[in-house]
Amino acid sequence: MKLFLLGMMGTGKTYWAKKLAKKWKTGCYDLDFLIASHEEKSIGELFSEDGEDYFRKSEAKVLRWFAEKKNFVLAVGGGTPFYHENMNWMNKHGVTVWIDEPVPVLFERLKAERAHRPAIKELDDAGLLQFIQAKLLQRMPFYEKAQYHLQGADITDAAFTKIRKEHA
């Protein structure tokens, strides 16, 4: 199974990718980590030195490496579905799951991780909340194209297992 996990930063995409890959004994990948390895720069350096447009082109290129892979769980960046027809590409090449946590949950998680995330590290609490709401509103039409939508308490092992069985 080719499983793409998408959603806003802070929803737990990487957490779930690791957990599911271990349980299903398959490859686990984080798209941002792969981009940073490929470019030999951190995501923050890519944004500040090369710009978002360069980053998004690299992101699309690395994402397409997964066309040849057979089984994996891939956590993609929060903005990945929004650019370069990535959402349509993922739907064509695998199973997409939108992990959707409520804004207050995202706010609390990201507030604690702010220093490690280039896009939000300079924001105060009000700015962080505004950022989350604006990005979610902007990206929602793309997230809604996911084949599955798991929200809040429905984001469970059982829900992912059901999805996997449907695509076995």
| Average pLDDT, integer, range 42-60 | 90
pLDDT at 132: 97
pLDDT higher than threshold 90 for residue 48: no
What kind of fold does domain 2-166 have according to CATH? Rossmann fold (3.40.50)
**What was the pLDDT predicted at 45?**
87
- Banded pLDDT at 162 (limits 50, 70, 90): very high
Flag whether pLDDT at 118 surpasses 90.
no
What distance in Å separates the CA atoms of residue 100 and residue 143, rounded to the nearest whole number?
9
The confidence score (pLDDT) of residue 136 equals 96
pLDDT tier for residue 128 given thresholds of 50, 70 and 90:
very high
Separation between Cα atoms, residue 142 and residue 136, nearest integer Å? 10
For residue 33, what pLDDT band results from cuts at 50, 70 and 90?
A: very high
For residues 113-126, one letter each, b for 16 or more C-beta atoms within 10 angstroms of the residue's C-beta and e for the rest, the string is ebeeeebbeebeee
